[in-house]
Amino acid sequence: MVRGRLMAEGVPVEALARRYGTPLYVYSQSHLASRFAALAEAMAPVDPLICYSVKVNTNAAVIGTFAGLGAGADVVSGGELYRARRAGVPPSRIVFAGVGKTREEIEYALRANILFFTVESEPELDRIAECARRLGRKARIALRANPDVDPETHHYISTGKAENKFGLDLRRIERAYRRAAAHPSLEIAGLHMHIGSQILNPAPYGRALERVAGLCRRLRARYPTFRYLDLGGGLGIQYRPDQHPLDPARFAKIVLPFMQASGLRIVLEPGRFLVGNAGILVTRVQYVKSGPSKKFIIVDAGMNDLIRPPLYQAHHEIVSVRATRGAVFGDVVGPICESADFLAQDRRLPAVREGDLLAVMSAGAYGFAMASNYNSRGRPAEVLVQGRRHALVRRRERREDLVRGEVAPRWS
């Protein structure tokens, strides 16, 4: 806030809303760069390969910012691979994860000559081998270990526990490596893990590393091409005022000793940590409605624009773009025809009026990327700010965009 006005770097958010309309996603480029630098510096002693997790915020301006800083990309679909390459990420720094890769996606990635596939099952291993053989190429692979540790986060976004669908448990994984070694079209490049998301305490990373330390030593001795340990993403950010983003120095303190002893090159796949706190969703109040027990602040952004609150009971701070006096108790809700369409529930909120602007904080990660056209609403515009400069990096979807791609059946 500067003189009672919320700023995005050097630009008043109010001015952005006036210029580009609402709902509007706004990202700070300096914030993106400073988060990347903080992590890169903390991990510098082991020369990390930081692969930005593209699923988190897919805008080319965001991916391109990280590519310009030397980042690679973590992708989970052919579409993300396409975006990463188009935004200038060299294929030699792209890793491809996901439990359900299709033949078409595998071949696309093989032709692009990405760094490696992270492999989640034995059938997938066989499929990648078969695709590589057909194309006359070698596929570099890292098997995904499920270390069965509790990342101490929301159960929807914890991925490294035994009951999750991801990866191979530690008993099965050695057998899978032997199977990989038997395929001449595969090259064993490393081991992958991703234990969950929004992790604020780095201790679970230490526990996961302890679980795979022996395995890594054996694999390194057995396979001369085994050289990467990909620790995935998961580094958490601030959503509530009393939280702090995971401290890269604390993370490094846990991870560095292990990495130095292992002789392996570390790959990281952070997403939320790099973009979450760099973005806000700006929305305009349409109506203020009084219910029997609380107020409903009805805004022009809905669950189609930001689904995290209803989907994960996620908390996003909501602030007034212009300083207000007084507070009300209630919900911030959108225009969608669902009771789950809320951005905040049962909260002390700024006393705003029709026409005022609110900012939903920490919305840079899994915001626009998870937006949909539900209720036939065009997805919001996205703006990148740097200092006093601002640029539209994705225009607001128009009505025609909603029906683009629809085809009438021939018999109608």
Report the alpha-carbon distance of residue 377 to residue 347 in Å, rounded. Answer: 26
- To ligand LLP, the closest distance from the beta carbon of 41 in angstroms equals 18
151 touches ligand LLP (CB under 6 A): no
Site track 309-338 with ligand LLP (rule: CB under 6 A), x = hit: ---x--------------------------
Q: Looking at this protein, which amino acid is placed at residue 150?
A: D
User: Does position 270 bind ligand LLP by CB under 6 A?
Assistant: yes
Least distance (Å) from ligand LLP to the CB of residue 72?
12
53 binds ligand LLP (CB under 6 A): yes
* 233 is a contact residue toward ligand LLP (CB under 6 A): yes
Tokens matching residue 172: 């099965």
Nearer to ligand LLP, 278 or 285 (CB): 278
* Interactions with ligand LLP, residue window 69-128 (CB under 6 A): 74, 97
Q: According to CB under 6 A, which one of 23, 147, 204, 232 is a site residue for ligand LLP? A: 232
Task: Supply φ then ψ for residue 51, to 5 degrees.
Answer: -100, 105
Which of 35, 308, 377, 379 is in the footprint of ligand LLP by CB under 6 A? 308
Shortest Cβ 18–ligand LLP spacing (Å): 29
Strand-pair category, 295-299 with 279-290: antiparallel
- Dist. CA 42–CA 376, nearest whole Å: 45
Q: Least distance to ligand LLP from the beta carbon of 372, Å?
A: 13
Can you read off the two tokens belonging to residue 170?
Answer: 């530690």
Q: Which among 383, 367, 375, 370 is positioned nearest to 399, based on CA atoms?
A: 375
- Under rule CB under 6 A, residue 238 binds ligand LLP: no
Q: Does residue 235 belong to the site contacting ligand LLP (CB under 6 A)?
A: yes
Decide if residue 153 touches ligand LLP (CB under 6 A).
no
Among 28, 59, 77, 197, contact with ligand LLP (rule: CB under 6 A): 197
Active site residue 131: no
Q: What is the CA radius of gyration of the chain?
A: 23
**2-41 footprint of ligand LLP as x/- string (CB under 6 A):** ----------------------------------------
Q: Whose CA is closest to 332, among 303, 357, 282, 296?
A: 296
**380 sits near ligand LLP (criterion: CB under 6 A):** no
Is 194 one of the binding residues for ligand LLP (CB under 6 A)? yes
Q: Closest-CB residue for ligand LLP?
A: 233
| Residue count, binding to ligand LLP (CB under 6 A) | 20
Per CB under 6 A, the list member of 80, 120, 269, 356 interacting with ligand LLP is 269
Active site residues: 337
- Contact footprint for ligand LLP (CB under 6 A): 53, 56, 74, 97, 157, 194, 197-198, 232-235, 269-273, 308, 312, 366
